[in-house]
Amino acid sequence: MVNALPQVTALLPVLLLAFTGLALLLVDTVSPDTRSNTSVAVVSALGALSSLAATVWFVASGTGSGDTGGAILLFADAIKVDTLGLFFTAIFASVTSLVVVAAHDYFHDHPNPATFYSLTLFAATGMSLLAVANSLAVVFVALEMVSLPSYVLVAFLKQNRGSVEAGLKYFLVGALSSAIFLFGISLVYAATGSLMLGDVAGVLGDIASDTDGIGSRSGIAGLGVVMILGGVAFKTASVPFHFWAPEAYEGAPAPVSAFLSSASKAAGFVVAFRVFTEAFPVGASLSADINWVLAFGVLAAVTMTLGNFAAAVQEEVKRMLAYSSIGHAGYALIGVAALSADGSGNGAVMGAAMAHLLVYGFMNTGAFLFVAMAERWGVGRTFEDYAGLAERAPVASAAMAVFMFSLAGLPPFAGFFSKYFLFMGAIDNGFLWLAAVGAVNSVISLYYYSRVVKALWLDDPASSTALDAIDVRPTALYAAVVFAAVATVLLLPGFGPVIETAEAAASALF
């Protein structure tokens, strides 16, 4: 049994990712001439899959759940291993596994592929640490552990001007958002005298009566909460902090775009879910005149609307997927935007958002990896360039159709059920308007997702030689795309246990 082992064993998923990244870095430094692209890719995939296996084992055995004694607290309570953290760690490890496998073919001619794999695993380590952070200080450090490798990954193609430009823009905006986030933490500390999430919540309730202007303790705390919310909005690519995402996703290598738009986005949401529910409970925040629920509601509605309308007018598939990921950030924001002060139904709506992020991790990663395959073939980036791809690559094109229909939320795909539970959770908590906005935006998204399917299966290629490069079969990329499609389909019959686990993890926060 896991619970019979030393408590530090609860960090095994995080440690496996960290040690794998360190091992790759060590081998690449000590013996750069003996390592090969295949060997480092295999080691990276094994490390990510080992972390995923350990996470699933912990969840199945009840580690950190209320039934087995509750969350495991480590390092003076700065780390909190519970089902919520393990659930998100499973998302990070799954996306990382798919990305490193696909990178084997994408970077087949890169002079130093080991750097990519180690950076990816270090970023995944930061995400996993972020999922179990119980202190605002640990949250900030973990966010920087995610951000610093991400800047390098976006600019990884040093000979590509678009990649370097995207990395620079991402770094400049990210540095600003980190400063805002850190200043928000300092204001919360000034008002409450603590960085521990539970202690902040306790003091927030005590200072609720001190609401005399912005100079009061509740006013200072409120300003800090707004700044922390801004940092979270940047990490999740939510409006109005979204403008970096299309540039970064378009300029970055496609596997990096998949990693950032799926795993990194989920990392931003685990901060929102844990920090705002544990450090700033809805009831205590409202009594202190800090209505962050309303702020998240406005963010959710505006983000999903702008993301979907912007995606509808794009002519490049990769840029369309970038704006699509912004729209899906709006859907996931419903998990914190539809919370009620009395706590009833909060676990259901936040659990549905967590389940949606899990499904999104597979279908969005798979879609970007299909784009990576198209870049590997050199067929172009526009919808017209994808015309007739199904003739030469029917399996991969079928997988892309699964991703598009699932992202749009069409039955019987898993994306439909994750959105259904999410919208129903919002309605049950009295946020009918938010669910209605989400439903309308899902209908709008069907237009641009169907454009990809139409190009692949119905349109004719521009010339008879346009698809000649498709005779090259990148095996690892193919395997990653097909596996993501299979996982998206198999999540349908297995969605019951997924939503139950997510709701149980979310309910433990309230």
- Which residue, chain included where needed, has tokens 């440690």? 15
The CA angle 126-130-133, to the nearest 5 degrees, is: 135
Mean pLDDT for the chain overall: 88
Give Cα 176 to chain centroid, integer Å.
Answer: 21
Interaxial angle between packed helices 83-106 and 37-61, expressed in degrees from 0 to 180 and rounded to the nearest 10: 160
- 3-state SS assignment for residue 184: helix
For the chain, give percent helix, strand, coil, nearest 5: 75, 0, 20
Encoded tokens for 19: 């040690």
Average pLDDT over residues 30-34: 69
Q: What contacts 26, CB < 8 A, 6 or more positions away?
A: none
Which backbone phi and psi does 383 adopt, to 5 degrees? -60, -40
Is this prediction's pTM over 0.85? yes
Residue 398 has pLDDT above 70, yes or no: yes
Query: Which residue is associated with the tokens 């039955």?
Result: 411
Report how far apart the first and last C-alpha atoms of the chain are (Å, whole number): 27
pLDDT digits (tens, 9 = 90+) for 148-173: 999 999 999 888 888 899 999 999 99
Task: Report d(CA 367, CA 325) in Å as an integer.
Answer: 11
Radius of gyration of the chain measured on its C-alpha atoms: 22
Q: What is the pLDDT of residues 347-386, one digit of tens each?
A: 899 999 999 999 999 999 999 999 999 888 888 888 988 8
Whether the bond into 240 is cis, omega within 30 of 0: yes
Consecutive H or E run containing 268: helix 265-278
Question: pLDDT by residue (tens digit) across 253-311?
Answer: 999 999 999 999 999 999 999 999 999 988 888 887 888 999 999 999 999 999 999 99
* Confidence at residue 215, expressed as pLDDT on a 0 to 100 scale: 55
Q: What pLDDT does residue 1 have?
A: 47
Give me the mean pLDDT over the 40-51 stretch: 94
DSSP per-residue string spanning 395-415: HHHHHHHHHHHHHHT-TTSHH
| Cα 481–Cα 482–Cα 487 angle in degrees, nearest 5 | 100
Residue 113 pLDDT? 83
pLDDT at 48: 96
Cα distances (Å, whole numbers) of residue 358 to 35, 270, 363? 33, 12, 9
70-76 mean pLDDT: 88
Q: How far apart are CA 60 and CA 391, in angstroms?
A: 43
Region 469-496 average pLDDT: 82
**Which range among 65-79, 315-329, 355-369, 424-438 shows the weakest confidence by mean pLDDT?**
65-79
Measured CA to CA, the distance from residue 241 to residue 441 in angstroms comes to 20
3-class SS at 109?
Answer: coil
